[in-house]
Chains A and B, each alone.
Chain A
Amino acid sequence: MSTKEKNMLGRTLIYIVLTVIGIAFLSPVFIVLINSFKGKFFISEEPFSLPDKDTFAGLENYVSGLEKTGFFSAFGWSLFITVFSVLAIVLFTSMTAWYIVRVKNKFTKALYYVFVFSMIVPFQMVMFTMTKTAGELGLDTPWGIVLIYLGFGAGLAVFMFCGFLKSVPLEIEEAAMIDGCNPVQTFFMVVFPVLKPTAITVAILNAMWIWNDYLLPYLLIGSEYKTIPVAVQYLRGGYGSVDMGALMAMLVLSIIPIIIFYLFCQKYIIKGIVAGAVKG
């Protein structure tokens, strides 16, 4: 065999391997999708067959799932909490990071290390005490949880903004100050625009975390305001036998917004992951 033929064969082999793995990666979502259209008693019986005229249930599962979980309100709360938490994290932590990097003293240095330290502490360490503290302070509301997410997200976000800011030259900021800008104006007109790539990374990493977070919203506001993960788990947990049909339909509805978001923002998400990993 010539080298050229060998190369061709090698390439074809790689494509075949990648395609097989690709199908393996997509099939779980596909299997849930086909099961969401089957009658609820057929799902556990034969999960890998396509719906036929006996098992096809139309949109029945979707209707009962929406009723049982209040999915639309869960979607609304997930969206509300994610959007406002991410905005708060990006805005406030970038300001804090600028202060830490530009005002160099013992206090800001200590502050920086405390933020970095918080990144490695698992949630279970503060799960009980945080829920109690936040409850006492009346923070068991959707706005309250935004504040809690700001506190929890601060570690990683401050760390990433500081890492980037260290390489930003002082000259432009000083010029703005000399031109009569106060620090707030300087930050928003000069510094923040420079931070945009890091801000996107921070926003994506935090959005992925908060949108999918289960335990914190469940413990803090779960009884009154259900986010999507809490609503899905509630369907499973609450009462006796599980409605597999409704569960499948809700899994599909939970995945759809994520896939749409992913297809539109893919470039930023992948760039953000890489940038986040390098800084981390």
Chain B
Amino acid sequence: MALKKYFPVFVLPTLAAFTIAFAVPFILGLFLSFTEFTTVIDAQWVGVSNYIRAFSNADFLNALWFTVRFTVVSVITVNVIAFALATLLTKGLKGTNIFRTTFFMPNLIGGIVLGYIWQLIINGVLRFFDVTITYDPKYGFWGLVILMNWQLIGYMMIIYIAGIQNIPTDLQDASKVDGANRWQTLRNVTIPLVMPSITICLFLTITNSFKLFDQNLALTAGAPSKQTAMLALDIYNTFYGRIGWEGVGQAKAVIFFVIVAVISFIQLALTRRREIEQ
């Protein structure tokens, strides 16, 4: 086919940009995680010592634990509320479009702006108790959970609505005729049939929660004393806040990447298996 010769036109621009922005930095990053460096050129091979330092770094372990807890809580709350709203909005009631529009809106606002909006509100509420959000890590934790819910519920709701609307209505009617109650219909008909939506919503909420950075930076910036810093922020602080720790920062980044990749694969494999052919 004549197309094959057109490689320079069709592939080269994307491939060149991809190589510069991703491929080279990725390989270089893997390499540098085994070295000590400050400017890339002065890299000295040190084996796995960066990884050992990363895993014995209290800030990193704290950030990892904080991120895991945050992800579990946000993934559950976001998906349960989004699914509940989606069921309410697919009952065929009139005028529900305005609610769909409203619930989705926060998703378009950027993480930095979202962080400052919620900082104002949460500090406003905490004023009644004479404290601020940086007083105790639990305020920062729940602040982030509320922010994440506000941002992602609308997005996930849209995906669930599309999934629910795809279910043939005769299936739900049939289960009613067979005498199933609402809970049974939900469990045995609706949920199995929206499994593809659940797969993608879980994937999006897990990866977005795990990789959260902007919102974390704006809402608490890790305060008090790095206790509310999530993994991405901790890696950033290691790179740009501590001279001589670049290698450790890169090792932390590799660990971060591996965790995200493994979790994504496990989740996709588990939920894909539950999807049924329609």
CB distance from B32 to the nearest CB of A (A): 7
Cβ of B200: which chain A residues have Cβ within 8 Å of it? 277-278, 280
The answer to whether A126 and B11 touch (CB under 8 A), given A17-B88, A184-B6, is no
What's the minimum C-beta distance from B197 to chain A, rounded to whole angstroms?
Answer: 7
- How many chain B residues touch A (CB < 8 A): the figure is 91
Q: Are A152 and B21 in contact (CB under 8 A)?
A: yes
Question: Is A29 an interface residue when CB atoms closer than 8 A count as contact?
Answer: yes
From residue A66, how far is it (CB to closest CB) to chain B in Å? 16
Given contacts A25-B106, A99-B10, A278-B162, contact A125 B29 (CB under 8 A): yes
* Closest Cβ–Cβ distance, residue A152 to chain B (whole Å): 5
B122 to chain A, nearest CB (A): 10
Which range holds the interface residue count of chain A? 35 or more
Residues of chain B contacted by A154 (CB below 8 angstroms): 14, 17-18, 22
Q: Which chain A residues border B13 with CB–CB below 8 Å?
A: 92, 95-96, 150
With a CB–CB cut-off of 8 A, which chain A residues contact B239? Answer: 127-128
Determine if B29 and A99 form an interchain contact, defined as CB atoms under 8 angstroms apart: no
Residue of A nearest to B98 (CB): A22
Name the distance in Å between B19's Cβ and chain A's nearest Cβ: 7
Taking a contact as CB atoms under 8 Å apart, the answer to whether B253 and A215 are in contact is no
Least distance between A239 CB and chain B CB atoms (Å): 15
Closest to B9 in A: A184
Closest chain A residue to B196, Cβ basis: A278
Q: List 14 A-B contacts (CB under 8 A).
A: A32-B120, A43-B120, A47-B121, A47-B124, A92-B14, A124-B253, A128-B239, A128-B246, A139-B20, A151-B19, A151-B20, A184-B6, A233-B218, A273-B155
Residues of B within 8 A of A (CB): 1-4, 6-7, 9-11, 13-15, 17-26, 28-29, 32, 39-40, 85, 88-89, 91, 93, 96, 98-113, 116-118, 120-121, 123-124, 127, 150, 154-155, 158-159, 162, 196-197, 200-201, 203-204, 207, 210-211, 213-214, 217-218, 231-232, 235-236, 239, 246, 249-250, 253-254, 256-257, 260-261, 264
